[in-house]
Amino acid sequence: MKILRWKHGDQPTVIDKKIAIAIGNFDGVHKGHVRLLEAAKVKAHENDLAFGVVTCDPHPRDFFNFNNSSFKLLDRQEKEYQLAKIGVEYLIIIEFSEALKNCTSNEFLSDILYQQLNVVKMFAGANFRFGKNREGTVQNSKEFSQAIGLEIITVDLEQTKSLDGKDKTVISSQSIRGLISNGELETANTLLGRNWCVTGIVKKGKQQGRELGFPTANLDMGYFLKPPFGVYVTKLKIIDHKTNKTINDWLPSISNIGKRPTVSGDDINIETHVIDFENHGVDINLYDKRIKVELLKFLRPEIKFSSLLELKKQIGIDTQKAKKFHSLK
């Protein structure tokens, strides 16, 4: 997959053929996104077009600083990995800027997508909006787009039954965020089509886990969405920095997400202990390595213990539950 960055005022891209794109933020690359992407891929191949994705960076929500909260389901590298798996040939990242914000919907279609990026087919969900003040919709833009030679194709995103089973709702990043925030992890994983994960570079902590006999690989949750603080059954992979591919098989693990109140922590981290790491041939030193931690099951809320001895005892109990989940002896 080729990654191209473009900003308002740049020269046209160097894509040597016309392109069909799926457009959106694709945070999570969930089942609804996959339906949109697959539809664009099929039509691109049928019409001998390149297949691409157009997205923006920063996310408009970051640009406008809506409530300044952490909301992302994936980091950049994981999103690229998931898009490449689907077969995206070109990932075109448009810089979201003041100039882009003030583009009318017609200018965006004609001047940017058609003239600059060589787009002739644009696939979008029915609720997709674009242009200044979000004036453009797939419905009110079709006549103009057809006149300039750009076809807009609406894809009905995949739906799922509501929790009461009576109605259906479109799978969306927003609904998945709500589920994860409320601790409904298994339902969120179903809508994603895979287990939700946190990825990043392992940072050096205070090594208190090592002193307790449970060494951990620590990631800063940063801009990631925050699930309920507590202990989770997880699994871990080490990722190659250059290729973004995983190096090892999944390793059974257990993680704590939160502020570590027993040891007076401040930052929100995910601390992951590989279960029986000595039996997996894994270098215990994961510092500065990129890892992926998938969340499988919530075990218990984060608790402040009266002593490190009590904490160590509870970690042992939690680890036994995680081993049972992973079918380990």
Residue 144 sits in the same domain as residue 257: no
**Rounded to whole angstroms, how far apart are CA atoms 48 and 17?**
9
Residue 276 lies in a domain: yes
Output the pTM of the full model: 0.89
DSSP H helices in the chain = 31-46, 60-63, 76-86, 98-101, 105-107, 142-148, 173-181, 185-192, 208-211, 308-325
Of the candidates 103, 90, 121, which has an alpha carbon nearest to the alpha carbon of residue 60?
103
Indicate if the pLDDT at residue 284 is higher than 70.
Answer: no
- Whether 165 maps to a domain, the answer reads no
Is the pLDDT assigned to residue 158 strictly greater than 90?
A: no
Q: Are residues 241 and 149 in the same domain?
A: no
| Structural domains counted in the chain | 2
Same domain as 201, residue 147: no
Q: What is the pLDDT of residues 230-270, one digit of tens each?
A: 999 999 999 987 777 777 889 999 999 998 877 766 789 99
- Contacts of residue 77, Cβ cutoff 8 Å, sequence gap at least 6: 199, 239, 244, 290
Q: Are both 62 and 148 inside the same structural domain?
A: yes
Could you tell me the CATH number of the domain that includes residue 210? 2.40.30.30
Q: Do both 150 and 215 map to the same domain?
A: no
The yes-or-no verdict on residue 273 having pLDDT over 70 is yes
Query: How far is residue 145's CA from residue 122's CA, in Å, rounded to a whole number?
Result: 10
Domain-embedded: residue 302: yes
Query: Residues of the chain with pLDDT > 90: what percent?
Result: 62
Residue 211 has pLDDT above 90, yes or no: no
User: 133 and 201, same structural domain?
Assistant: no
* Residue 219 · residue 291 · CB < 8 Å: yes
Say whether both 144 and 8 belong to one domain.
yes
How high is the pLDDT of residue 282? Answer: 67
Q: Does residue 91 have a pLDDT over 80? A: yes
- State whether 226 and 78 are in the same domain: no
Instruction: Tell me, yes or no, whether 190 lies in a domain.
Output: no
Range of the domain at 279: 195-325
